[in-house]
Amino acid sequence: MEKILDIIEGISYEKGIPIDNVAQAVKEAVIKVAKETFDPNFNYIAEIDKKNKTLHLYQVISVCDNNDEAKKANSNYITLQEARKHDSEIKIGDELRYEISLENMSRSAVNSLFRELEYKIQRLVETQLFDKYKAQVGKIVSGSVVRVDDLGNTYVEIDEIRAILPKKNRIKGEEFAVGSVVGAILKHVGIDRQNGIEIELSRTTPKMLEELLRLEVPEIKDGDVEIVSCARIPGERAKVALKSDLAKIDPVGATVGVKGVRINAVSKELKNENIDCVEYSPQMELYVARALSPALVVSVVLNEEDKKAVVTISKDQKPKAIGRSGINIRLASMLTGYEIELKEIEGEKQEEKERQNLQNEGNQKTNLDILSSLFKG
């Protein structure tokens, strides 16, 4: 194994793996092949001589008591009496090392060594890539589309690896052509023994909206505005709750931008998804009321035990609160974490209020008539 350190350094540079990791992989590969080639019951240790850039393999034998019958029968032990024939000062528990020549390895052993080393280096590469992409879970990554299969799954090449954007994680109506650049949330990273690293992407998760806002709005990126909660029905509508601890910053205004330029840029990336920005309030009744915008509510009563909100609303505001196909109330519920029940103002109370208004108008008219007759007289 002449100049093994040169080989290790070459692999480290080519694969981008720390040199110590490659060195450890080489030693483990040599030990495994030695067990297969010589004796699987022996204990081996491999060491690299950095000065001469060579690798040495040793069989390690431990010194045991002369009367320890169990260890005497084990090939990895030598009695103190026998050991002192080699070294008069050796003690129980010390080790003897016998170097094994790697130059006399058979061709099949050499081939096994290269296969084992190739396997270990591949595992190191995969582990390094796994750690790299694991750290990016929940972040937006981008790459080029290389294939779209018959099921509508999109395969995206991101740097040195291929990821999958399943059809279920794609906004309804989106189509991607080979060669187009796609940005998506890195949703999951796993390792499969047969296929190696598997990466799943998503454009439908609320995290996608949050990360786009973080990229587009400096105040969010800098932490001056915080995204408290986010709810989406992908490609249709979304609601995002925002807050700021700085009195000088309007969290909604900062996120929307001048003439809506910031929020429109995010909406365009999400296939024109309609995005409502809501200012968060620690007063949950007010928060629920704001979440139901553009509807105007009369009152909100919370049941904290059941996480339920009973919202009283007028008849003309009810359609706005519900939204088309119930989308507004669903998003408000998702955003706040409360099950929302709408309670329309009772008809009798509304009619009584209208009668009272008419009566007040009549009284005002009568008073005006009396004043008019006085002046005429």
Task: Choose the weakest-confidence range: 98-102, 205-209, 315-319.
Answer: 98-102
Q: How many Cβ atoms sit within 10 Å of the Cβ of residue 129?
A: 19
What lies within 8 Å, CB to CB, of 5 at 6+ separation is 48, 50, 53, 54
Work out whether strand 274-279 and strand 299-303 pair parallel, antiparallel, or are unpaired: unpaired
CA atoms within 13 A on the CB side of 88: 0
Task: Decide if 367 contacts 360 (C-beta within 8 A).
Answer: no
Instruction: pLDDT band for 348, please (50, 70, 90 cuts).
Output: very low
**Whether residue 180 has pLDDT greater than 60:** yes
**Whether residue 229 has pLDDT greater than 50:** yes
**Whether residue 217 has pLDDT greater than 90:** yes
How many angstroms separate the CA atoms of 135 and 103, rounded?
A: 43
Mean pLDDT for the stretch of residues 65-77 = 84
Q: How many Cβ atoms sit within 10 Å of the Cβ of residue 284?
A: 15
How many angstroms separate the CA atoms of 121 and 22, rounded?
A: 7
Prediction pTM value: 0.73
Share the mean pLDDT of the chain.
88
**What are the tokens at 213?**
């806002």
**Whether residue 3 has pLDDT greater than 80:** no
Task: Decide if 103 contacts 54 (C-beta within 8 A).
Answer: no
**Whether residue 148 has pLDDT greater than 60:** yes
Task: Decide if 44 contacts 19 (C-beta within 8 A).
Answer: no
Give strand pairing partners of 99: 58
Task: Choose the weakest-confidence range: 83-92, 219-228, 351-360.
Answer: 351-360
> In this predicted structure, what is the pLDDT of residue 83?
87
